[in-house]
């Protein structure tokens, strides 16, 4: 039977842009161009490698987001994913991680899956908790923050490199995995891949398709509330000296004056 892999990806404001909050204190998605979150490219890459190693596999890429989020799906399709699912609904504006994970869980179930692959975190919210929450909601094992991953004989195995130790993990499918930026460089879409992606199917779903009430999502349905957001005050300009043989001494004097030495 075919191995059904679903990759969850996020369309985010470019992290190198000048990101801001909108008036309702949600992430401003207008001022800065959006793209497929860089960390999710690693998830797409590992999903494609797992699919290549399997006898028969299908990779579906899934996102929850506004109309423009289709760009993220197109990128993943041009890398080689087989098809895409886009959950789009005006009521989703301002949804927090609890609501997003609820929508993803329903969409993953609706799509059918043996393995869900996620990135380690988004580059906008940067929480890094969605894969664990998704596993909790789906009631399947989480095998997360992997720098190496493989699927064989109905099991997923991988290496999780933590601060205190490196762990070898194993779980039975179905399961949710997340991969880090150490898992292997993501491929660039080829011209052929970009052309092929235009013909691939992008299925659109809304909340009613997934049986989710509007009250469970959106800004009003969020279980957290941002009360204030302010730009960090610019750091006061420091002293810059050019080393002409005395640079180290000058720096040492500064550090001593600040009581670091």
Partner 1 sequence: MGEVLVYVDHVDGAVRKPTLELLTLARRIGEPVAVFLGPGAEGAAAALAEYGAVKVLAADAPEFAEYLVVPKVDALEQAAKAVEPVAVLVPSSAEGKEIAARLAVRLGSGIITDAVDLEAGAEGPVATQSVFAAAFTTKSRVSHGTPVITVKPNSAAPEAAPAAGTVEQLSVSFSEAATGTKVVSRSPRESTGRPELTEAAIVVSGGRGVNGAENFSIIENLADSLGAAVGASRAAVDAGWYPHTNQVGQTGKSVSPQLYVAAGISGAIQHRAGMQTSKTIVAVNKDPEAPIFDLVDYGVVGDLFEVVPALTEEIKARKG
Residues within window 227-256 making contact with partner 1, judged by CB under 8 A:
227-232, 235-236, 238-243, 247-252, 254-256
Nearest CA among 65, 63, 67, 73 for reference residue 26: 65
Q: What are phi and psi of 176, to 5 degrees?
A: -110, 125
Q: How far is the CB of 196 from partner 1 (least distance, A)?
A: 30
Q: Is 144 in the site for partner 1 (CB under 8 A)?
A: yes
**Near partner 1 by CB under 8 A, which window of 3-11, 47-55, 80-88, 177-185?**
177-185
Query: Which residue in this structure is represented by tokens 């011209």?
Result: 191
Q: How far is the CB of 166 from partner 1 (least distance, A)?
A: 5
Q: Which stretch binds partner 1 (CB under 8 A): 17-25, 52-60, 76-84, 198-206?
A: 17-25
DSSP conformational letter for 69: G
Q: How many CB atoms lie within 10 A of CB 219?
A: 17
With beta carbons less than 8 A apart as the criterion, state whether 178 and 118 touch. Answer: yes
By CB under 8 A, the residues from 60 to 79 that bind partner 1 are none
The nearer residue to partner 1, 54 or 226, going by C-beta atoms, is 226
- Look at the block and give the residue holding tokens 């969020």: 222
Q: Of 3, 7, 39, 44, which lies in the binding site for partner 1, with binding defined by CB under 8 A?
A: 39
Taking the C-alpha atoms of residue 159 and residue 32, their distance in angstroms, rounded to an integer, is 35
In angstroms and rounded to an integer, the radius of gyration of the C-alpha atoms of the chain is 22
**Residue 120 binds partner 1, judged by CB under 8 A:** yes
The residue among 42 and 78 lying less far from partner 1, judged by its C-beta, is 42
Cis status of the peptide bond prior to 174, with omega within 30 of 0: yes
Task: Pick from 72, 142, 146, 207 the residue near partner 1 by CB under 8 A.
Answer: 142
What is the C-alpha to C-alpha distance for residues 148 and 128, in angstroms, rounded to an integer?
18
The two three-digit tokens of residue 194, written as one number: 């970009």
Residue 150 touches partner 1, criterion: CB under 8 A: no
Q: Which of 15, 54, 173, 202 binds partner 1 (CB under 8 A)?
A: 15
Nearest CB to partner 1, comparing residues 33 and 243 = 243
């Amino acid at each position: 039977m075919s191995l059904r892999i679903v990759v969850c990806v996020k369309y985010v404001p470019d992290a190198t842009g000048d990101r801001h909050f909108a008036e309702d204190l949600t992430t401003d998605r207008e001022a800065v161009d959006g793209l497929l979150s860089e960390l999710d490219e690693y998830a797409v890459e590992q999903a494609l490698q797992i699919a290549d190693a399997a006898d028969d596999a299908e990779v579906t890429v899934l996102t929850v987001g506004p109309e423009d989020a289709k760009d993220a799906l197109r990128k993943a399709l041009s890398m080689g994913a087989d098809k895409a699912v886009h959950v789009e609904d005006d009521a989703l504006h301002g949804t927090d991680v609890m609501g997003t994970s609820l929508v993803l869980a329903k969409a993953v179930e609706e799509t059918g899956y043996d393995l869900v692959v996620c990135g380690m975190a988004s580059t906008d919210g940067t929480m890094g908790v969605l894969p664990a929450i998704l596993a909790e909601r789906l009631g399947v094992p989480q095998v997360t923050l992997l720098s190496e991953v493989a699927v064989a004989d109905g099991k997923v195995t991988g290496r999780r490199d933590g601060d205190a130790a490196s762990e070898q993990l194993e779980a039975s499918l179905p399961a949710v995995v997340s991969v880090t930026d150490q898992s292997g460089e993501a491929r660039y879409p080829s011209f052929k891949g970009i052309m092929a992606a235009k013909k691939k199917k992008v299925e659109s779903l809304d909340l009613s398709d997934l049986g989710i009430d509007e009250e469970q999502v959106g800004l009003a349905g969020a279980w957290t509330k941002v009360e204030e957001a302010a730009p960090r005050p610019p750091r006061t300009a420091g002293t810059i000296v050019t080393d002409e043989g005395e640079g180290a001494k000058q720096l040492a004097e500064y550090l001593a004056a600040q009581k670091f030495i």
